Amino acid sequence: MTDLHGRRIVLGVTGGIAAYKAIELCRRLVDAGAHVAPVLTEGALHFVGRTTFSALASEPAQVSLWDEESPIPHTRLGQGADLILVAPATARALAAYAHGLSDDLLTATLIATRAPVIVCPAMHTEMWEHPSVQDNLRLLRERGVVVVPPAEGRLAGGDVGTGRLAEPEIILDAVHHVLADTRRDLAGLRVLVTAGGTREPIDSVRVITNRSSGKQGHAVAAEAAGRGAEVTLVTTVDRPAPVGATVIRVSTAAEMEAAVMPLAAQQDVIVMAAAVADFRPAMVAARKLKKDEFGDGGTPQIVLEPTHDFLVDLGASKPSGQVLVGFAAETDDVIDNARAKLARKRLDLIVANDVGAARCGFEHDTNAVVLIGADGLHQDVPLTDKRSVARALLDAVVELRSTP
């Protein structure tokens, strides 16, 4: 989220328990360079303080239509906004917006704007599922409003169900997606991304896996979707899906192969960011193996067999014009090993990643990589957030596609 410099975003906060999460959203938007104007409803003030948002945002938070210093605040805010983001959006706020009831500053601003609008509903499950709420959301979607649906999880009062405000990363992805129309260089392209580490079963309980968190692959998928691509994300991790991506969840290397290969020939770009296991147990027990089955001091022997390296198949059968990207997670001789993998697997581009370096690779939010291309490209991407790494990677893909 480093490309919001100068963008004017009205952040609407309504009266739900999730209002406290809007504080983090405000901070992140400002950190990304946006000019944030907070608008709080009277209900929101029961949960969060006006002073908090005034301190964090780009201008003082506003609550009332009747501000002597700004006699028509809703038109000023609505006309000047590049985007209006409502998080959380309560059932009442959605109903008022859908039916044009401009009885507070936020709904008046929503009606007085031609800027794109994102609403992020948050409420109890029963309210979320009520037909009136769903009808209002359907009406708003028909008008072009972007809805970031709530997540499933623990709710206020200890209940569990659908209704939690979406995680900040998902909401920020939606902001990026909506505001990225000035950079739609992947529009019309089909991009397939893999993410996460595969899990190879030993028995019905235990698995062999690796430390991949899937963060880099998900960042690539989110960046590609934000730049207009039709994205398919094949992932092993239970992370929120990037806005605009079709997600296929898998576990093992074989499942990932089964998901990727039938789609491969139709893709314009394939980014194999997943950490696919090289080996798996040759025999998988259908039940949990008990340690007392092996006698006193006995140790089970796990016999491994290689998994099928379907990246080789992708390289061998790559259609004309497709860009195939691989990753090389290394700890020694990083560049040499990456170049060898690039040639051996007939890739167009490889991302060399020293996973032994500080704050790089698995599980971290940051990364430092080297982009190496079959055309001679050698580009260092110094330590930065993984979304920025994804941006550099896709910039290189766009350059490759534009080269005759």
Question: Looking at 114, 149, 179, which one is the last position of a domain?
Answer: 179
State yes or no: pLDDT of 382 exceeds 50: yes
Q: Which of 85, 83, 65 is nearest to 75 (CA)?
A: 65
Any domain includes 63: yes
Q: Which of 299, 288, 325, 327 is nearest to 210 (CA)?
A: 327
Same domain, 233 and 99: no
* CA dihedral for 30, 78, 42, 19, sign (positive or negative): negative
Any domain includes 1: no
Q: Please provide the average confidence, as pLDDT, over all residues in the chain.
A: 91
Same domain, 313 and 209: yes
Any domain includes 195: yes
Alpha-carbon span 184 to 190, nearest angstrom: 13
Q: Which of 84, 323, 68 is nearest to 189 (CA)?
A: 323
Q: Which of 170, 148, 150, 166 is nearest to 241 (CA)?
A: 170
Q: What is the pLDDT of residue 1?
A: 43
Same domain, 273 and 343: yes
Q: What is the pLDDT of residue 154?
A: 81
pLDDT in tens, 65-90: 887 566 678 888 988 899 999 999 99
Question: How many residues make up the chain in this entry?
Answer: 404
Domain of 161, CATH number, reads: 3.40.50.1950
Average pLDDT on 257-272 reads 98
State yes or no: pLDDT of 296 exceeds 70: no
| Concatenated DSSP letters of 251-297 | -SHHHHHHHHHHHHTT-SEEEE-SB--SEEESS--SSPPPGGGG-TT
Domain range for 188: 184-402
As annotated, the active-site residues are 210
Same domain, 173 and 191: no
Sheet holding 83-89, edge to edge: 35-40, 8-13, 83-89, 117-121, 146-147
pLDDT in tens, 178-208: 886 556 789 899 999 999 999 999 999 999 9
Check whether the bond before 88 is cis (ω within 30° of 0): yes
Q: What is the pLDDT of residue 295?
A: 65
pLDDT band per the 50, 70, 90 thresholds, residue 362: confident
Tell me the HSE value of 375 on the side-chain side, using a 13 A CA sphere.
15
Same domain, 22 and 133: yes
Any domain includes 32: yes
Same domain, 22 and 163: yes
Contact call for residues 101 and 68 (beta carbons, < 8 A) = no
Same domain, 396 and 321: yes
Q: What is the pLDDT of residue 385?
A: 81
Question: Looking at 179, 203, 226, which one is the last position of a domain?
Answer: 179
State yes or no: pLDDT of 249 exceeds 60: yes
Q: CB count, 10 Å around CB of 373?
A: 20
Any domain includes 86: yes
Any domain includes 2: no
Alpha-carbon span 186 to 162, nearest angstrom: 33
Same domain, 161 and 197: no
Alpha-carbon span 226 to 245, nearest angstrom: 10
Domain of 286, CATH number, reads: 3.40.50.10300
Q: What is the pLDDT of residue 220?
A: 94
Strand partners, 247: 233
Same domain, 193 and 338: yes
Alpha-carbon span 259 to 256, nearest angstrom: 5
State yes or no: pLDDT of 396 exceeds 70: yes
Ranking 130-144, 153-167, 246-260, 327-341 by mean pLDDT, the lowest is 153-167
What per-residue string of b and e applies to 66-97 under the rule 16 or more CB within 10 Å gives b?
Answer: eeeeeeebbeebbeebbbbbbbbbbbbbbbbb
Any domain includes 208: yes
Please give the torsion angle defined by the CA atoms of residues 183, 186, 191 and 196, in that order, rounded to the nearest 10 degrees.
-20
Ranking 2-6, 106-110, 224-228 by mean pLDDT, the lowest is 2-6
Question: Looking at 119, 154, 179, which one is the last position of a domain?
Answer: 179
Looking at the structure of the chain, the number of domains it has is 2
pLDDT band per the 50, 70, 90 thresholds, residue 297: low
Contact call for residues 228 and 180 (beta carbons, < 8 A) = yes
State yes or no: pLDDT of 109 exceeds 90: yes
